[in-house]
Amino acid sequence: MFKPTVGPIVGHTTTHHARIFLRGDHANNRVFAGIRHRRQGDTRWSQGQFVQLKAYRDMTAVIVLKGLRADTAYEYQAGWFSPMRPTHTAATVGQLLLPWPGEVYHLHTPSGTDNTARSYIVGSCRYLQIVGDVPLLPGLGDRIFASINHLVKRADPPISAVLMTGDQVYLDDLNRVAPDRSARDILFKYRTAFSLPHIRRLMSSVPTYMILDDHEIEDNWPANKEPDDERLYANALDAYALYQASHGPAGEDLDDASPGRSPQRFWYLFAHGDIQWFVTDSRTRRNLSAADRRILDQEQEQALLEWLIGSTARVKLVVTSVMFYPDRKLDDGDAWQAFPNQRLRLIEAIRTHRIKNVIFVSGDVHGSLTSRLVHSQDPDFAVHTIVSSPLCNSLLLPYATASSFIIGEPMAKAADGEYRYELTSKVISQDNFAQLRVTTQSIQVTFHDRDGGPLEVVDIPLR
C-alpha cells in the first residue's frame, strides 16, 4: 500500500464516529483506499475498511470509523493500492494480506459532557499562488501550520477542532494572473494546498471543519459573476464538495457513493457537549435582487433562527465567512453590512428571545479583532464577534487596520432603540490565527502570530 497522495484529513468527529478523507492515485486496474484503527495502547488493529476510488471523484474518498468510544485516543493507518486481480471489490480486498504504510496517525474523540472546558483553532484566508503547475513559495503559507501544530501539542484544554472559515484556496489568484477555471487546474490547486507538510500533519490528527468563501470560486462571488462563469462555478463547487465538504457534517449524505458529488447544502451544525456551532454558507445561497436581498437563503435563515431560539446549548457559535460586524468604511457590497434587513432580523430575534452567549465567528478581511454589539435600551443584550484572518496574506493585498472600520455610529436602528458596537481588542494587521478557550465563565481569545507568539488576549464573559 502507498501513503495517501492527499490526507488523511480527520473531519467531523463525534463521541462515536470519525470521517476521514484521503486520496490515492490513478493506476491501470481498480484502485482502493483503506483505513484500519485501534485504541491507543492496544496491540491489535481493527479489520481494514476499504472503498474503491473513482476518477470522477479525483480518486478521493471518505471512510467513516464507527463504533468509537467517547473521550478516547485512537491511532490509525491509511493507504491506497491497486490489486493484481482486476475483479476485486471493496469487500474482497479485505481478505488480502496487505503491507500497510508505516506511518501511524492519531485522533481523539470528544467527550459528550457539558460544562467541559474546550479549545478551538480558528483561521481563514491562506493564499497560495501556482503558476505553470509550480507553487510559488509554498512554505510561506504552510509555516503558520507548524506553529499551530506546536500549540496543539501543549494546549490545555486540548484542541477539540480546527475551524477554517473561508478562502482555504484562492482559485482566482487575485483576478490578476491566470485564474483557475478548469477542473484540472482547480483540483491541482486543492491537492497542492492540502498536501503541504505542516497543514497535512495538523489535519491528520485534529478534526477540521471548513466552509467556503468567495476565493473558492472568484472574488466577491456572485456580485462579480460574468455570463461565462457557469462552468467555473460548477467546477469550483465540485472541487469544494470533494476536498472540503465531504469530510464534514454536510458531506454525510454522500456516503452512498452515488455519482453526484455535491451535498444538498453546505451549511451544517456540530456540537461538543453544551457548546454548539452553526456553520453558515454565506456565499452560494445569496439573493442580490432588490426585492428580497439576502446573504442566507430562506431555508438557512429559518434553520439558524430555529436553532438560536430552540437549542439549549450554553454557548452558541455562528460561523459566517464574511464579517457580521463591524462594518467597513469601504463597503464593497460583500459582507453583512450590505444585507442590513436580514442582519437586523437575526439580532432582533436574539434580543427579543433573550438568547445568551451568541458569538459570531468569521474571517475574510485580512485583519483580526473582537467586538461587542449592544442595544441602547436593553442593557441585558450583548452579542460578540471574533474575526480571525489571514493565515497567509498575499504580498499584493493590504491588511485591515482599525481605520478600516466605522466606529462610533449606530449599526442599525430598531423600533425601540439602536444597535451599536465597539472594538474589544486591537486590530491585528499581520498573518495570524486565533485560539478559543471556552470555559464555564468565558471565552478567552488569543491571537497568535505566524510563529505562534501571542499578539492579543481577550476575555469574553459568558452569562
The pLDDT tens digits for 297-320 are 999 999 999 999 999 999 999 999
Q: What is residue 89's predicted lDDT score, i.e. its pLDDT?
A: 86
**In whole angstroms, what is the distance from residue 104 CA to residue 196 CA?**
18
Buried b (16+ CB within 10 A) or exposed e, 142-171: bbbbbbbbebbeebeeebbbbbbbbbbbbb
Q: Give me the percent of the chain exceeding a pLDDT of 90.
A: 86
Under 8 Å between Cβ of 373 and 347:
yes
Q: Report the chain's mean pLDDT, rounded to a whole number.
A: 94
**What average pLDDT does the segment 217-222 reach?**
94
Residue 254 has pLDDT above 70, yes or no: no
**In whole angstroms, what is the distance from residue 152 CA to residue 206 CA?**
9
Question: What are the residue ranges of CATH 3.60.21.70 in the chain?
Answer: 118-461
Question: What are the residue ranges of CATH 2.60.40.10 in the chain?
Answer: 6-108
Q: What is residue 175's predicted lDDT score, i.e. its pLDDT?
A: 53
* pLDDT one-digit tens code per residue, 16-67: 999 999 999 987 779 999 999 999 999 999 999 999 999 999 999 999 999 9
DSSP state of 130: E
Please name every residue paired with 270 in a beta bridge, in sequence order, or none if there are none: 277
CATH code at 118-461: 3.60.21.70
**In whole angstroms, what is the distance from residue 158 CA to residue 95 CA?**
38
Residue with cell 451544525: 269
Tell me which amino acid residue 296 is: L
CATH code at 6-108: 2.60.40.10
